[in-house]
Amino acid sequence: MQQIAPESVLSALSWRYATKKFDPARKIPAGEWARLEEAVVLSPSSYGLQPWRFVVVGTAATRAALRAASWNQPQITDASHMVVFARRTTMTPQDIQRHIDRIAEVRGIPASTLDGFKNTMIGSVTTGVAGFDASVWAGRQCYIALGILLSAAAMMGIDACPMEGIETAKYDEILGLPAQGYAATVVATLGYRAADDAFSQLKKVRFPAEQVVKHV
């Protein structure tokens, strides 16, 4: 693997900000968007279970309906691309088996050799396990994927805005997510900042590292 220079990583993360105003005339090239989709698919998750679906909304009418369910925030329709991070609302032994089968397929091993791992997952993250809320757990995994997408976009020079200001029940209805076993969790809009987005000129505000990083 070719190492990315640390200063390049920090430069990209310093450059990015939650873009408030996108240039609707600028679109992310198809090849670059395909790479971003690959990046978010590579996101880590608990046990590698990937309890999510990334809904890329491209239809103008659907984007307009979702904007109305997003407090009329213009990023929803003006950004080049929009991704709804949807979480699994339940986790069943069948979901676990699907993961096991995929591991066996990719790594070329018998699924039976993963029985111990499978049973551990069934006993930890399936709906019905005492004290476990599959929907809450899956929602946390979606935020890991969101972070990966935002970071990948920044390193590619693509702007993005994470957005929680959405009416999730209306999103679910518009996108038909409940029937698929999913629920809307958070949104990312991506594209290129407008030249007159005043927020792009503001200095990034973070607490000093010595105040938020603790060594023990």
Q: Tens of pLDDT along 18-29?
A: 999 999 999 999
Cα atoms found within 13 Å of the Cα of residue 55, Cβ hemisphere only: 23
Report the distance separating Cα 74 and Cα 196, nearest Å: 14
**Structure confidence at residue 170 (pLDDT):** 98
Task: Specify the pTM.
Answer: 0.97
The interaxial angle of helices 134-155 and 30-41, nearest 10 deg, is 140
Give pLDDT, residue 62. Answer: 98
Q: Which two tokens stand for residue 62?
A: 């659907």
Which residues make Cβ contacts (< 8 Å) with residue 11, sequence separation at least 6?
none
Helix (H, G, I), strand (E, B) or coil at 82: strand
| Residue ranges of the chain whose pLDDT lies below 50 | none
Calpha distance 193→200 (Å, rounded): 8
Kindly report the number of other CB atoms within 10 A of residue 4's CB atom: 10
